[in-house]
Structures are given as structure tokens and as C-alpha cells.
Structure 1
Amino acid sequence: MATLSGLCVLLLAALSRAVAGDDVTPVYFTDGGELMLNVTRSDTKPIQNILWKFNGNLLAEWVQDKVPLELYGAFIGRTDLNIADARLAVRDMSKADTGAYSVEINSKVHAQSYDAKWIKVLSQPEVVIRPLTCSAVSKSCTLSCEADTKEAGPVTYSWKMGGNQLNVSTKDMEINSVVSFVLR
């Protein structure tokens, strides 16, 4: 019975998300970087008006033959709107640009919106060998990829040996034989 009620809750959660029609895509940017928001449309009607919002406030507006492209607030001078496909590009991003971006096309709220998140640029990682006494006679050693990942957003790890990608996607990699590697 508990399994059935758990399944019911999951189905209700999925159904409420589908009915709401919201599809929030996380996007990431760094200081001084560019944010490119592409819009996928199933509607084949020509675009007659576009309204982009940032955290619910006007960001950019265009209405064919009525309102020329108008940019608002901090987005003036660093934003481009492609009126053919509603693609928005914002340059010189900063932490203040973190938030929700949404678009209306032809006076209809587009189902997809974006959650823009600032991340810091990571410094070059360092490979640390453990134990420090690891040597050719050690039975096993651990290589650990160390870097300051605070405020870095989602971090992924990958390891290579001899130019070949290894099937290791964690911060640490255990080695049981002699391994040579190049950190890039």
C-alpha cells in the first residue's frame, strides 16, 4: 500500500509539472562572460512581437511595425535580440544578472524559461597523490583532483591515461599499477 501511495504522489507531482507547462533550464555564466538564450519554437507563424523579462521586469521588447527594439535598465548597450528567432544575447555578465529569464512570443508566454546562475572560473586543478609515501612498491595509491570549487556550479571530473579517457568520473581515482598522466 505504501508503494502505491508513493507512486500516486510521484504521478501527481509529474502531472502538475506537465500541466503547468513550465520548463526551467539552468544556464551558467561567469564574470564578463556572455549569456546566450536560444528559443525553440514549434509554432511556425512569423514572429510579430517579442518580450523578454528578467526576474519579472522588462528586459527587451519589440513589436513589428509598432515598437522598435527597446532595451531596459542594466541591459542597455550589452544586449542583442535576434527578432527572427527571439534569441537573446547578453554580454559583460556579472553576479547581478543571476535570476529568471522568460520570454513571450506573439503575446504568448513561452513554456521554456531560464534560471541563470553565476559561477566562478575555476583555477587550474592540482593532482594530489595519497598516501604521500606512494611509490612503485605501494599496493595502491589514490590520485585526487583538488581545486577550489566553491561557487563553481556543477563540477564534473574526468581522467585520462596515455591520451585515453578513463571510465572514472569522481574526484578521486585509485591506481593499482604504474600510471603516467598529463594534467591539462
Structure 2
Amino acid sequence: MAHSVATLLFILSSVGPAFGVVYLQIGTNYTLQPKITGKPQNILWKFKGTKVVEYENNNYYWYKDYESRGQLDILSGNLELKNLRKDDTGLYQSEIQVDGRLHNSDHNIEVMGPVFGVVSCRTGTNYTLQPKITGKPQNILWKFKGTKVVEYENNNYYWYKDYESRGQLDIQSGNLELKNLRKDDTGLYQSEIQVDGRLHNSDHNIEVMGPVFGVVYLQTGTNYTLQPKITGKPQNILWKFKGSKMVEYGNSNLDWYKDYESRGKLDIQSGDLTLKNLRKDDTGLYQSEIQVDGRLHFSDHNIEVMDGISQPKVSCQDEVTLTCSVDPGVQAEFEWTGPDGFEATGERLNISQVIISKIDSVFFCTAKNKVSESRTSFILKDCYKDAGHYCK
């Protein structure tokens, strides 16, 4: 029974703190701190289960290349790692004996290259990815979504897929220029560049978009033409609305989807798409993908369809408030004008006693939204059944 208790106590003393993941940049230094109390007699650090350094009987034992870029503090058990690399990412574990008791700790670090923010580019333009290294590269590797783009090694270039025809690698800086950007170039680009025996990594995100036209406000029942503004004669045309196909043209065939054929018209010479008899549910994002001379062109168009405004109506409330209204469900803003340069905004207008005394005053209410406006007039005396008790 005593043996079982002793075993249990040893197990409990062997379980140390587990620290959260620490994110670090390539080339920096970091110190792993087990945070023990007392002077260690024996120290062991491991990385992914493999020994890094061992201290025992006043002797150090370093493994792999850690001695050249590591430093062990035998008074605290701290392990400093210098010039961090991506392959230093993972779990570090310490086993440290103090006063006959074994202390354990787990440390997770993730080492990353410089991470550049998302850069937005237009289709058809060029963009240069810049890893911003110092020194002349010996080896260069660029990847896109984990797949090789270009490799430079022993003075030889190796291009993959179609990147050689539209890419340019600067072997002095490691910069990679991408030409004639397409929408499918959107994503993560990563560099691995060796300079003076050290590996440098960087991550770059780009998003490639077609020309983005501002929101166009349109009235229900009207027609509107979406114009991608391309140059040249299209071979293939695709229009989508909220990601779903509307119309497709290719090999001299025209394919319409849903009810768009009955109220749409496609100009195969320009790629323009006309929408007829617009409805509120036509509001949203329209996208074109048009191939001209083997190159794909994209464009994004946002429209918002709303009802126009019929003539507003003015009514009286409690003889001192005028209310201007339009048909239910119609978006509108209201402006008032009146005698002596009077101006006000809002659906309701509170009339002062001074103005009430001018019983023949005429007020105008203008209701408007982004597609139309309408105005009506109102004579103040219409608020009163008997206006005779007012002095003019």
C-alpha cells in the first residue's frame, strides 16, 4: 500500500504546466521558461520527443545543431532558442529535477515568416510579391496554395504550370512578379529563400477582382444595361447573379437560366446584359466572366432596385402638426418648405403659433428617394373647419 502511495505521489509531481501556443517570427529569439522553484540538479529538454539538450553532473550534452543556436540557463532551466526557423514549430518539453522531485512542462510554439496583409488587385494588372530579405539569395522557392510556382537553385530556374509565361523572378531580391492577374490567382503565396545558409519565409495574400462598379439605384419597372466595358470581341460570356448563372454564351450557343430569357437581352458583340422590367428582388451583385482573345475578363456590378414615389399626401394632427406620407413600403425622405423661406425636414412638421396666425399659408412637402421624387402643396386653413376666428 505504501508503495502505491509513493508511486501516485511521483506521478502527480511529474505533471507540469502546459503553456498555450506562442506565435513567433522567423529569425527572432525566444526563451522557453518552465518556471520552477529551486536550483536544478538535472535538466532535459526535448523537441517533438527528441532530445535538444541535457544537463547532468555538471555536464552539458547538446544534440543536432542546437548548441550553435541555443543557450541553457542551469540556474532556472530556461532554454533560449536563437534565429528561429519554421521547422522549429512544435512541442517542447522539459524534465527538470529539483531537490529529488521531477518537474515537467509543455511549450508549444509556432514560427511564421512575415505575414503581409491582403492586397487587392484588379484582373489584368501586374503585381510584385516582395519578401523583403537582406542579402543575395542562394535558393528561392515560391508556392501558391502549397503548390510550387517557381524554384531557383544552383543557377537554374524551374517554373511550374503556366507561370513561366506570366511570371518573372528577380534572383537578386527574391521578388516574384505576376502578370495579367486572373481571379483564380487569389490566395496565399509563400516564399522560402535561403540567404547565407539561413532560410527566410514569408506569406502573402492577394485577392484579384474584376472592375468593381459602384452601386446603381434603379426604379422598379425600368430597364438597365450592365456594361463590363471590355475591348475586343468575346468568344465566351458568362453572367451570374448572386453566384448563380443567368446566361452563358459559347461556341455560338446561348443558354439562359431561370426566367431571365423572357426579360433579358445579351449583346454578344460587347458582353452587355440588359435587364428589363426590374423588380425589387433583382437587387444584388452581378458578375461577368468574358473571354477575349484567350484572356478572361471579370467585372462586378451592384444594383439596388426600389419603388418610385407617387405624389405624397399631407394631413393634419391636433391642428399644429402636419404629416407627410407616401405609399406603405416605399423608402422616402421628406423636406418641407413654406412662407418667408421656411425649411424643415422629416415626416412631421410642428407649426408655430406665429405661422398658424397666417391661415392662408401654403406649405410644400417633397418626398424623395434615390430613384425619384414628388411634391405636393397644402394650404394651412384646410386644417380647420372654421377659420373665421383667425385675424388676417
Fold similarity call, TM over 0.5: yes
Out of 348, 361, 367, the position equivalent to 1:148 is: 367
| CA distance in 2: counterparts of 1:81 and 1:25, whole angstroms | 21
Q: Closer, same or farther in 2 for the Cα pair 1:93/1:123, shift >3 Å?
A: same
Identity among equivalent positions (%) equals: 23
Q: Closer, same or farther in 2 for the Cα pair 1:154/1:20, shift >3 Å?
A: farther
Q: Does 1:27 align with 2:221?
A: no
Deviation at 1:90, TM superposition (A): 1.0
Deviation at 1:109, TM superposition (A): 4.5
Q: Does 1:39 align with 2:228?
A: yes
Deviation at 1:120, TM superposition (A): 2.0
Q: Which has the larger radius of gyration?
A: 2
Deviation at 1:47, TM superposition (A): 1.0
- Residue correspondences, number: 129
More strand by share: 2
Contact 2:226 2:274 in 1 (8 A): yes
TM-score where L is the length of structure 1: 0.58
| CA distance in 1: counterparts of 2:245 and 2:290, whole angstroms | 14
Contact 1:28 1:119 in 2 (8 A): yes
Contact 1:123 1:147 in 2 (8 A): no
Structure scoring higher RCO (CA < 8 A, sep ≥ 6) equals 1
Which amino acid letter does the alignment assign opposite residue 209 of structure 2? G
Q: Does 1:108 align with 2:293?
A: no
Secondary structure in structure 2 of the residue aligned to 1:148? strand
Deviation sequence 1:61-88 (CA, Å, 0-9, x none): 00034xx111111212111000000010
Deviation at 1:35, TM superposition (A): 1.8
1:52 paired residue number: 239
Which amino acid letter does the alignment assign opposite residue 16 of structure 1? S
- Unpaired runs of at least 5, structure 1: 1-11, 136-140, 157-184
| CA distance in 2: counterparts of 1:103 and 1:154, whole angstroms | 25
| CA distance in 2: counterparts of 1:93 and 1:155, whole angstroms | 15
1:122 paired residue number: 309
Contact 1:37 1:89 in 2 (8 A): yes
| CA distance in 2: counterparts of 1:80 and 1:69, whole angstroms | 11
| CA distance in 2: counterparts of 1:40 and 1:34, whole angstroms | 18
Deviation at 1:143, TM superposition (A): 4.3
Q: Closer, same or farther in 2 for the Cα pair 1:146/1:16, shift >3 Å?
A: farther
1:163 paired residue number: none
2:261 paired residue number: 76
2:120 paired residue number: 16
Contact 1:53 1:101 in 2 (8 A): yes
Which amino acid letter does the alignment assign opposite residue 121 of structure 1? G
| CA distance in 1: counterparts of 2:250 and 2:121, whole angstroms | 31
| CA distance in 2: counterparts of 1:127 and 1:55, whole angstroms | 36
Deviation at 1:99, TM superposition (A): 0.8
The ranges of structure 1 where at least 4 consecutive aligned residues each deviate by more than 6 angstroms after the TM superposition are none
What is the RMSD computed on CA atoms of the aligned residues?
3.0
